[in-house]
Amino acid sequence: MQEKPFMTNSSRRILFITRTENDLPFLRPLLEREGFILHPLFSLSDPGPLPRTVSHIIIDINFDINRLESALQWCREHYPGVSPLLLSPLPADSLAPFLSLQPPVIIKKPFSSEELLMSLGDDSSAIPADEKSTLIRDGSFMTASPKMEAVYELVRQVAPTDAFVLVRGETGTGKEVITELIHRMSLRRNEKLVPINCAALPESLLESELFGFEKGAFTGASESKPGKFEYAHKGTLFLDEIGDMALPLQAKVLRVLQDKEVERLGSHEKRKADVRVVSATHQPLEDLMEKGLFREDLYYRLNVISVRLPPLRERPEDILLLSASFLEEFKNKYSKEIEGFSREVRDFFLHYSWPGNVRELRNLVESMVILTRKRVITNELLPDPLKEKGPRLAAPSFQPGGKEAFSLESGEKELIRQALEKTGGNRARAARILGIARSTLYNKMEKYGLA
């Protein structure tokens, strides 16, 4: 067997065997904060330069379960004595048919950061139970926030039922991502997910899009067309911005939901429309009902389960996680070699209020990736209007010659204090926000008298 060129040795290097880059923005920050170097490997047949030695091997079971045994054999040949760790959406007993030699550790997805680190040999037993947090990656859903973890658990509980769900939250908080997650976990996951934005179309056009129409039903109807209800039969219909739907149309939608049948415009023939409805709104529907702008009976029909999404400013743990994920996405899209964001940019991200939420963050990262000519994105690429309305870091008071004279140490102390304040004293979450290892945070807290 021809020997491949090797890279520099590292006693803290992890080989990560996976099929895609999807999990890299999720795992890399977590592991690098703990002092590991992550080396992704996307192809066993053409691996390219490999580390001479590794301390750990992680295999993402999603890469190809039918080739799992050959992957384990590859690991035994190239790195004898290193036992692979498997990340699997399946329980251990489900993997038995694919394994002739069971690996010692299998971690079920989703998993907590502490569970992964303990499996890698980093002891987290000293961390108080109320400071342990979960990092979740499920498709396009990604979070390290306790608030979003609660949302995820609610979705897991509700999705396998056929209950209608109303997703609430400010614009840009990820209501479509939650809808996709619900559909993917539902009994209807093999059928269509059909979205329609109720705010994007005038009433007459929205009606024809929802119910469909027959040829000649109105001027311009040159051929028959099924509507979204009919198209989504046996699947999921996503009614985005349901609060913008006109009252007359609300009554017709309610009738379809009750009868599970729909009539195209220009026809009296009833067609099957058995759909699970997930609706979303950034408006308080209760206020619209009081004003007579939203039907009470439709509200109760749609609001069987209510899922509230917190704004990005209330989930600071997700800001750097999501920004790293978007950076990975766009640097690949635009073929840019970018290592990351400068400390100043990360600090700005953490202290900005994000009125546009995740959508605003995503758009900003894309813009910065397109415009940068450097390997590290710096704050000169932050738009001037954003810097003008964005918050400034609270600087320590400056008294020449005094004990609190401004210095790098006083600035660092203030950043740590703000992170602890933002997380209610939760040190694990504060470390994640600051982008440093927990042990580093603990040492600095002791140094600055913040312990």
pLDDT per residue as tens digits for the range 300-350:
999 999 999 999 999 988 898 899 889 988 998 999 988 888 888 888 998
The answer as to whether 15 is a domain residue is yes
Tokens coding 100: 């002739």
* Mean pLDDT of the 223-242 span: 94
208 and 279 assigned to the same domain: yes
Which tens digit of pLDDT belongs to each residue from 156-200?
Answer: 999 999 999 999 999 999 999 999 999 999 999 999 999 999 999
The secondary structure of 279-306 as a DSSP string is EEESS-HHHHHHTTSS-HHHHHHH-SEE
Compute the distance between CA of residue 248 and CA of residue 276 in angstroms, rounded to an integer: 22
Q: Where are the beta strands (DSSP E) in 81-174?
A: 85-88, 105-108, 111-112, 134-138, 141-143, 165-168
165 and 31 assigned to the same domain: no
State the Cα angle at 321 between 316 and 322, rounded to 5°.
90
Mean pLDDT of the chain: 82
Domain count, the chain: 3
The pLDDT of residue 451 is above 80: no
298 and 183 assigned to the same domain: yes
Which tens digit of pLDDT belongs to each residue from 389-423?
Answer: 765 433 333 344 444 444 455 566 777 877 787 77
The pLDDT of residue 437 is above 70: no
State the Cα angle at 199 between 194 and 200, rounded to 5°.
75
What is the pLDDT at residue 7? 38
CATH of the domain at 187: 3.40.50.300
- Judge contact between 58 and 14, C-beta under 8 A: yes
What is the pLDDT at residue 278? 98
pLDDT-wise least confident of 371-375, 384-388, 434-438, 446-450: 434-438
Residue-number span of the structural domain to which 204 is assigned: 146-308
The answer as to whether 404 is a domain residue is no
The pLDDT of residue 231 is above 90: yes
327 and 380 assigned to the same domain: yes
The answer as to whether 398 is a domain residue is no
170 and 294 assigned to the same domain: yes
What is the pLDDT at residue 97? 64
| Of residues 4 and 309, more confidently modeled | 309
Among residues 342, 357, 389, the one where a domain terminates is 389
82 and 197 assigned to the same domain: no
Tokens coding 250: 């609300």
| Of residues 51 and 126, more confidently modeled | 51
When pLDDT is cut at 50, 70 and 90, the band that residue 73 belongs to is: confident
203 and 83 assigned to the same domain: no
What is the pLDDT at residue 237? 97
CATH of the domain at 33: 3.40.50.2300
270 and 199 assigned to the same domain: yes
CATH of the domain at 351: 1.10.8.60
What is the pLDDT at residue 122? 53
What is the pLDDT at residue 92? 62
